A and B are shown apart, each in its own frame.
Chain A
Amino acid sequence: MVRLHFPFALVASALLAGCGPYPTDMAGTLERIEARHVIRVGVAAIPESGQAAMGDFLARVRRASDARVEAKHGPMESLFADLQRGKLDMVVAEVAEDSPWITEITAIEPIATRRQGERILGLGAIVRNGENRWVALLERQARDMPAGS
């Protein structure tokens, strides 16, 4: 019979590690943003109809995290690769619900959607998987956006 000492040791170490906010980020994205006051944002092509909403959203995120935005423009695939490597804190882009990237990254609930052919494209923030505190902050800002913006 394998004893369960390990899980209890795990809890103990987790509790020791857990003196900060809860939940926290696995790669410390929000902690870094708060320390440096800079959000590294990858900006992919955004349709004209969504630009005002995205501007409003980014302004809210800036205020909530007390940081300025450092934008990097580029093609979506390249920005996602940078996001996964930790070179960006988030990407703002239009992503289809069935995008092959959807399991590799976390798409925050969209601030605007539009239909293109068979697909529904959601405009919003995309972050690395596991950044749960950062995700919570972005979800809050997305939900606080006025309806129909």
Chain B
Amino acid sequence: MTEGAGHPRAIVADLKAARRLEWWNIGWTISIVTVMGLAMGSSQAMKTAWIEDTLGLIPPIVFLIATRYEARGANEKFHYGYDRVNSLGFLVAAVALGGVGFFLFKDAVMVLWAQEHVTVGTVRIAGRDVWLGWFMLAAQLYATIPPLIIGHKELSLAKRLRDKLLHTDALMNKANWQTGVAGILGVAGIGFGLWWADPLAAAFISLSILWDAYNSLKVAMAELVDGVPRELGEDKVSSEAQAIGAALKARFPEADNVLLRETGRYIRAEVVGASPTPDFSIDDLSLEGCERWRVDSVSFRL
């Protein structure tokens, strides 16, 4: 929490689980990058999937760094603590996601434009010539399963933790498994003699990734310029922020306005045109639809 060290008790267990999951994520991603690197050959979808899997390391690493910093208390150089490291990490993860989508789209369009025909040869194993496409398909299948499972687990944790960085990592994992599927379709298409299957599948997947990245970037920027808190993964104003705003307006009807912003996973409110009563406490507010730990502070300005 802002000035104090550590995290609110209500989210400590989930944060621990998320950190553990991200370590698993990094481990699996490294293994996928290795396997894909060994099997990629000259398939465009395979190469792009490899680049994407490598970029997929950014959000979990940033998450681990951000949660570590976030737990630090305020000091003489950072009076408000490190809550916003999460916001910064969210922006980095959103840019990485956008980078993945951009690479995928650019390469796919270039291959389609050049009408590149991909050769996938054979390798002799124990006297039998085996098409390398089978190894590529196996590698792609391997690369599809861990992000599917990890991304799914991250989504529920991100919702409970109101963690946009973790949510973006879940989107990155979605991008990874979808690219894996594109790669499978692409390599299978090569086997069927369809030269365009590989880049066209990649181009379609890249549009989905770019859309997710665009939404994430919009929210990340809104957060960094003190916009009203947004819902996870959407540009819509958060229902929790609306609940806090409504509770404060009800408590201070004389106030001109209630301003809300988000620093990391916490919401800060400012009541304009009213003074707090001596007995005022955030805990006394009727915050229906918003967990107490979400509200970092309420300040007053006359």
Contacts and interface: CB of A to CB of B under 8 A. Distances in A.
B211 A2 contact: yes
B122 A136 contact: yes
B122 A6 contact: no
B165 interface: no
A23 B119 contact: no
B211 A14 contact: no
A131 B197 CA distance: 15
A131 B118 CA distance: 8
A147 interface: no
Contact of A2 (B119, B181, B188, B207): B207
A109 to B, nearest CB: 8
Nearest to A13: B194
A14 B193 CA distance: 9
Nearest to B181: A7
A37 to B, nearest CB: 21
B193 A25 contact: yes
A41 B192 CA distance: 25
Contacts of A1: 208, 211-212
A28 interface: yes
Contacts, number: 97
B185 interface: yes
Given A2-B211, A22-B192, A23-B191, A106 B119 contact: yes
Interface centre among A10, A11, A27, A143 (most CB of B within 10 A): A10
B118 A130 contact: yes
B205 interface: yes
A18 interface: yes
Interface string B148-189: 000000000000000000000000000000100110010011
A132 B205 CA distance: 25
Given A23-B191, A24-B193, A130-B195, A6 B204 contact: yes
Interface of B: 116-122, 124, 129, 131, 133, 178, 181-182, 185, 188-195, 197, 200-201, 204-205, 207-208, 211-212
Given A14-B194, A17-B194, A129-B119, 12 more contacts: A1-B212, A18-B191, A26-B195, A27-B117, A28-B193, A129-B117, A129-B118, A132-B121, A136-B121, A136-B131, A143-B124, A143-B129
Q: Which 4 A-B pairs have the closest CB atoms?
A: A130-B117, A23-B191, A2-B208, A24-B193
